[in-house]
Amino acid sequence: MTSRSAGKRYAAALFESVSKKGEAQRTARDLAAVDTLMAGSAELRRVLAAASVPPAKKQAIVSAVLKAAGDVSPDVVRAVQLLAEYGRIELLADLSEAFGEKVRAAEGIVPAEVVTAAPLSDGQRAALQGAIARASG
C-alpha cells in the first residue's frame, strides 16, 4: 500500500469521526498546521522516522510538540499520536492533504486552475471569480 492510499484511509476514518461533530474545518486547519510544524524541523522528522526510537518515546515527543503548538483539536492530537505509535508519522502529510480534499468535496468545492497568456489585473481577476461563482452556483 502506498503512503498516499494509507493517508486516504486514515483521512476517511478521521473525517467520519469529526464531521459528525461539525469539526471538519477545524480539523483540516489543525492537521495542516501540525504538518507544517513537523515538516519545518529536519531533526524532528529524523527522530520520528528512526527505527531505533521506541514508539512510546515518539508518542511522548509528538505530545510535547503538540502541547507546545497550542490549541490543537483533541482529534488531531489522537490521530498524530496514533501515527507515531504505529511508526507511520511519515503519513502525516498525506493524511493532511487527503483530509483537506475530503472537506472540500463535502463542501462542494472543486479545485480549478486558470491559465492565462498574460497576468490578470485585479479587476480582471475579480470579474473572472464572479463569473465562475455565478456559473458554478
pLDDT of residue 93: 92
Domain residues for the domain of 40 are: 3-111
pLDDT of residue 1: 55
Decide if 86 is inside a domain.
yes
Decide if 104 is inside a domain.
yes
pLDDT of residue 110: 80
pLDDT of residue 127: 94
Structural domain total, the chain:
1
> Which residues have a Cβ under 8 Å from the Cβ of 74 and sit 6 or more positions away?
none
Q: Indicate which CATH number applies to the domain containing 57.
A: 1.10.520.20
User: Alpha helix locations (H) across the chain?
Assistant: 3-19, 24-39, 42-49, 55-69, 74-85, 92-106, 122-136
pTM over 0.85: no
Low-confidence ranges of the chain (pLDDT < 70): 1-3
pLDDT of residue 106: 92
Instruction: Report the sign of the C-alpha dihedral through residues 8, 40, 62, 29, in that order.
Output: negative
Decide if 117 is inside a domain.
no
